[in-house]
Amino acid sequence: MYYNYLKIAFRNLFRQLSYTLINVVGLGTGIAAFLLIMLYIQYHLSFDEHIPEAENLYRVTQIQQAEGVGEQHVAFNPGPLADEAVKQIPEIRDAVRMMAWGAVPVRVDEKYYTQDDVIWTDQSVFRIFGIKLVAGDTTNALTELKSVVISLKTAEKYFGSAENAINKQFVFNYENGYTIRAVMENQPENAHLQMEMLVSYESALSKYSFLKSWDSNSMGVYVLLNPSAKPDEAAKKIYDLLAENKALSTLANSPKIYLQAVSDIHLHAGHIKFQNNYAQGDFSLIIAFVIIALIIIIIACINFINLAIARSVKRAKEVGVRKTLGASRRNLVYQFMGESVIITFLALIAALLLVELSLPEFNQLLDLRLSMQVFDKPLFGVGLLIIWLFVSLLSGIYPAFFISRYQAVEVLKGVRESGSKFGGWLSRALVVFQFSVAIALIFIVIVTNRQIQFVMDKDLGYNYNKVIGVKLRGGDVAQDATLLKQEFKKLSGVGRVAAASNINGVGGSQFTITVDDTADKQLMVRAGYIDADFLPLMDIPIIEGRNFNEAYATDDEAIILNQAAVKALGWTSPIGKKFRSFDASDSLQKPTVIGVISDYHYYSIHSKIEPAAFMLNPDGYAIVCVKYQTEDAKAVIEDLENSWNTLFPGKPFDWISAQERLERQYRNDQNSIRLFTMFTVLALLISALGLYGLSALRVEQRSREIGIRKVLGGSVFQLIYLIIREFLSLIGIAGLIALPVGYIFAQQILDQFAYTVNITVFDGLLSLLAASIIALITLAIHARRAAVSNPVISLKSD
């Protein structure tokens, strides 16, 4: 019996090949989009799963309340906290300190390299993060001064193998004597901390005395709790420990402490301003893409349902004959569900092929390395089976029951006809739903793309065009900056040259400043170390006072504020005002305000411009900025590199453009919008594909009416309008539903930025127009064909 169902199902599907192809392509594209989104989501949800006791591992985080910057979450703490927490807090059974350094110059066998993902840390990192060694042991690893552990990939890069790397010495950040004591397994990419080189914490202590102080929040501190411990109670005791050691006194208001689960760091740490978090994700985006994935697959199923309902009239007589010959309604449901299962299976195969073919482009678009190997896992095999059955039921159950309910007598007498457009109210509602979703998605894409364009075009308050930053690497940075400035100024095509702590002037430091030697007026500011050439190079206007002048010895104790700082302090005449020292030791120096600059966006426009203070501090310089005047950037970079190699032979030349840095700030936003746009286009195309098949069947059902109208003098335009008007009315209804929904979601996206575009009526009209044009083009193909066809053929066939 079931064999007969399958045979008849295949026969019907091949007989209506165009109908079958439309369904397979529509469903296949929808399932492929769903699978791609699931791969993307699975990648983000898998972060830090490799950590053995992730459920008990937490990162200590502060909520600081400070005048000037308001509330900010910070995932850095004093260096001594880790050891003391293990000793004094029973809930904590282990802890580790970690300070990421990013890229560091190293020299192996007289050759310099730039080593990425360097972290200063304790030996406890092996226990807490479950790091396994492939060579060496943990006896001396990260316990000695200048002890280093590297990844297998790094060992093979520098020494050819893990075994050859053990006990080898190399130069780290221009300092001799660092020894490789062990080689660890390569760490997974889906980890919020990337570890290619681990350097002992003792090495950091020998170089940076502030790490011993309770006053400096400079280390990421992770604590491993006992399974029965409550994170809130442990956090309260950490707060008490910090308060006991006066670690909270440098802030205007004492912070709150909480423990963030390591499993939450990747997707739930967007609110944390200072942290180490590789490839930081956003849980709200994950939810958004889950919704989009479900919407796309539902739209594809709606196509199937609508086409089946519209096609039901052509199969009514078949149903009548089968019922006359003794077929029960259950038999007919089995038959039509069998066709649905077959189409869905073919669509699933097509979807897997589409995913395989599109995955390289998808990875390139989002700068990811997703792989279909994840489908080899049994769980994903079960998932594919569930998708197949779910889509088969969702798309096939209603059409099967709809068609099988026809009465044999009615259909054989010709009473049962397609009197209701699209097979009834459900079909109309489904078309409205499809285009409501499509229009809402188009609306959101239009608004978000306008926002990103606004971000890229916005006047940031400084001129970053044709600015290159050459990074200083260790050594005497003040002297190196002076030498580089002298050499770079000699080059043709080079205009101004300046030294700074960052290419945009402001680094990652922040200080609490006190006015007039009292504790009554305090302000937290972002700190920037710049020389006298930086403000002119970046075209940042001085609106009051003057710039630094290195010829004035007193400028070593001078500062320049931005407008936001002056406003936060409530000053009308800031020039000449004095502060207590910026550093935590409260030295007797009293920095004097000599100038005020206009506000500029030194961070992204996701946040408002915060108070900032700039000072001369050559030891804090990390980059030399070059403003070039030629159009040939490549030639300028080559000249800069040649000058670098002359001054520092063998040392790696590393540079970044200000434009590239700006684009990097919004890369996650751009990638998300690209992904959103891509799946919006897919949803629209799937909807259009369903409309294409639906209009073909609708034209076929009304062929006799069209023939009669044409004989009676109906024009081509009138006939085309006759066919498409019922569809356009549904799209109009969809627009009324979609635009308010799209507005709400678009506004939520804009709320993530401090500075935004305004949503306008034009955005709604444009999204409605785009959907209407696509629908019109789709409908016009069959409408025009029917309107210009010979009416004799349709009347004769009837």
Does position 519 have pLDDT exceeding 90, yes or no? no
Helices and strands in the chain: count of H runs, count of E runs: 24, 22
Measured distance CA(744)–CA(94) in Å, rounded = 46
- The answer to whether residue 693 is domain-embedded is yes
Buried b (16+ CB within 10 A) or exposed e, 366-392: bebebeeeebeeeebeeeeeebbeebb
Measured distance CA(286)–CA(284) in Å, rounded = 5
Provide the pLDDT for residue 626. 96
- The answer to whether residue 122 is domain-embedded is yes
Measured distance CA(653)–CA(765) in Å, rounded = 52
Strand partners, 105: 114
Which residues 6+ apart lie within 8 Å of 192 measured at CB?
A: 47, 48, 262, 265, 266, 276, 277, 278, 279, 280
Name the one residue in this structure whose structure tokens are 């697959």: 297
Same domain for 406 and 342, yes or no, is yes
Bridging pattern class, strands 169-172 and 175-184: antiparallel
Element (H, E) at 260: strand 253-261
Name the one residue in this structure whose structure tokens are 């914490």: 201
Structure confidence by residue, pLDDT tens digits, 191-205? 999 999 999 999 998
Measured distance CA(18)–CA(29) in Å, rounded = 16
Same domain for 33 and 165, yes or no, is no
Q: Answer whether 528's CB lies under 8 Å from 505's CB.
A: yes
Measured distance CA(63)–CA(66) in Å, rounded = 10
- The answer to whether residue 659 is domain-embedded is no
Measured distance CA(694)–CA(696) in Å, rounded = 5
Other CB atoms within a 10 A radius of the CB of residue 244 amount to 12
Does position 797 have pLDDT exceeding 60, yes or no? no
Element (H, E) at 198: strand 197-200
Same domain for 431 and 369, yes or no, is no
Measured distance CA(340)–CA(19) in Å, rounded = 12
Name the one residue in this structure whose structure tokens are 């009292």: 518
Provide the pLDDT for residue 470. 95
Does position 584 have pLDDT exceeding 60, yes or no? no
Provide the pLDDT for residue 191. 92
Q: Which residue has the higher pLDDT, 714 or 27?
A: 27
Same domain for 335 and 449, yes or no, is no
Measured distance CA(656)–CA(625) in Å, rounded = 9
Mean pLDDT check: name the lowest of 36-40, 74-78, 245-249.
Answer: 245-249
Same domain for 614 and 504, yes or no, is yes
Locate 210 and state its tokens: 């502030």
Rounded to 10 degrees, what is the CA torsion of 276, 282, 283, 287? -160
Angle, CA of 697, 701 and 704, to the nearest 5°: 140
Last residue of a domain, one of 207, 242, 265: 265
Same domain for 504 and 598, yes or no, is yes
- The answer to whether residue 463 is domain-embedded is no
Domain residues for the domain of 22 are 1-47+279-417
Q: Answer whether 788's CB lies under 8 Å from 476's CB.
A: no
> Can you give the length of the chain in residues?
798
Last residue of a domain, one of 265, 287, 314: 265
Amino acid at 505: G
Locate 324 and state its tokens: 């006359």
Measured distance CA(767)–CA(774) in Å, rounded = 11
Measured distance CA(334)–CA(340) in Å, rounded = 10
Q: Answer whether 528's CB lies under 8 Å from 561's CB.
A: no
Locate 488 and state its tokens: 């770079």
Locate 313 and state its tokens: 């009239």
- The answer to whether residue 660 is domain-embedded is no
Same domain for 283 and 356, yes or no, is yes
Same domain for 644 and 704, yes or no, is no
Provide the pLDDT for residue 542. 96
- The answer to whether residue 442 is domain-embedded is yes
pTM: 0.82
Which residues 6+ apart lie within 8 Å of 357 measured at CB?
A: none
Measured distance CA(373)–CA(396) in Å, rounded = 31
Structure confidence by residue, pLDDT tens digits, 20-43? 888 888 889 889 998 999 899 989
Same domain for 578 and 676, yes or no, is no
Please provide the DSSP assignment of 589-628 as one string: ---EEEEEE----SS-TTSPPPPEEEE--GGG--EEEEEE
- The answer to whether residue 661 is domain-embedded is no
In terms of Cα–Cα distance, which of 672, 741, 606 is closest to 282?
A: 672
Provide the pLDDT for residue 473. 78
Measured distance CA(279)–CA(591) in Å, rounded = 39
Bridging pattern class, strands 510-514 and 522-529: antiparallel
Contacts 24+ apart (CB under 8 A), 41-46: 41/286, 41/289, 41/290, 41/293, 42/374, 43/190, 43/368, 43/370, 44/266, 44/267, 44/281, 44/286, 45/267, 45/286, 46/190
Q: Which residue has the higher pLDDT, 61 or 329?
A: 61
Measured distance CA(490)–CA(232) in Å, rounded = 60
Number of domains in the chain: 4
Q: Which residue has the higher pLDDT, 249 or 635?
A: 635
Same domain for 146 and 214, yes or no, is yes
Q: Which residue has the higher pLDDT, 157 or 247?
A: 157
In angstroms, what CA-CA distances link 672 with 97, 141, 287, 295? 33, 41, 13, 17
Q: Answer whether 492's CB lies under 8 Å from 643's CB.
A: no
CA 115, distance to chain mean position in Å, is 25
Q: Which residue has the higher pLDDT, 453 or 185?
A: 185
Structure confidence by residue, pLDDT tens digits, 403-446? 666 565 555 555 544 444 444 577 778 888 888 998 999 999 99
Locate 573 and state its tokens: 């005449």
Structure confidence by residue, pLDDT tens digits, 258-302? 999 999 999 998 888 878 888 888 898 899 888 888 888 888 888
Q: How far apart are the first and last CA of the chain?
A: 35
Amino acid at 212: K
Provide the pLDDT for residue 588. 39
Does position 586 have pLDDT exceeding 60, yes or no? no
- The answer to whether residue 568 is domain-embedded is yes
Q: How large a percentage of the chain has pLDDT more than 70? A: 84
Same domain for 246 and 312, yes or no, is no
In terms of Cα–Cα distance, which of 194, 201, 204, 221 is closest to 117?
A: 194
Locate 48 and state its tokens: 């830090």
Provide the pLDDT for residue 422. 41
Same domain for 614 and 673, yes or no, is no
Name the one residue in this structure whose structure tokens are 């799963």: 49
> What average pLDDT does the structure give for the chain?
84
Last residue of a domain, one of 622, 653, 684: 653
